[in-house]
Amino acid sequence: MSATSIVLVHAHALFREGLRHHISSEPEFRIAGEASNGQQAIQLVDYTDPDLVLMEVDLPGVNGLEVSRAIKRTHPHVSILLFSSEMDGQQVVKAIRAGVAAYLPRNIEWPRLLTVLHEVRRGDYPINEMVLALPDVAAQVLSAFRQMVIDEDTQSIFSPLSPRELEVLELVAAGRTNKEIALNLDISNQTVKNHVSSILRKLAVNDRTQAVVYAMRRGWIKVQLPGDV
């Protein structure tokens, strides 16, 4: 696998310098460019077409969530990791809707961030793990998803997904990694990836989070999170 290209987006040069120092020491990753605000970030992603974007939520002008939406519209394959000073449930819901892969505390330590980078590089969505680990956030996220189900027209309940694909998608929605799904269903990791690719193709969505939201809105899958009775 070639080195994963990363764009760094943060208003403070010192913060970017720290990230650049750590990331540049890892041969699996390379810095494709840096930006200090949202508009620069959008232009830089258009120019460099990176694999990952590491970005602060509280950017001057256009904030990180709005930038994430703009990037995912034109570059759906780009994975976005957001840093925030607040692990707020409503913000997490907005991040999930924007297709963000990970939503991280600003004071995250480098070993944990490196682990998240590798997870996202493999195609996983650590944002799901974070939701499961924080019951208060999980409750807000689940409540928001349920409201989306109520608001959505759910007349058509036919699912184009196979029973096995629905099993995989339910486990994705529960925050399981590809490896955990493979162990749970007693299938190979590659088979899990094949199922996920098929799900995205059938639902005409860009990423796993969008597939989960799509299926939940239509009542094809149900997800229990901590504190949900």
pLDDT band of residue 46 (cuts 50, 70, 90) is very high
Same domain, 151 and 197: yes
Distance CA 167, CA 182 (A): 11
Distance CA 103, CA 153 (A): 29
Q: Is residue 96 part of a domain?
A: yes
Same domain, 107 and 70: yes
Same domain, 206 and 106: no
Distance CA 229, CA 133 (A): 17
- Mean of pLDDT values over 52-58: 95
Number of domains into which the chain is organized: 2
Same domain, 23 and 59: yes
Same domain, 105 and 143: no
User: CATH code at 143?
Assistant: 3.40.50.2300
C-alpha R_g of the chain: 17
Count of other CB atoms within 10 angstroms of residue 161: 19
What amino acid is encoded at 160 in this protein? P
Q: What is the pLDDT of residues 205-226, one digit of tens each?
A: 878 888 887 787 777 776 554 4
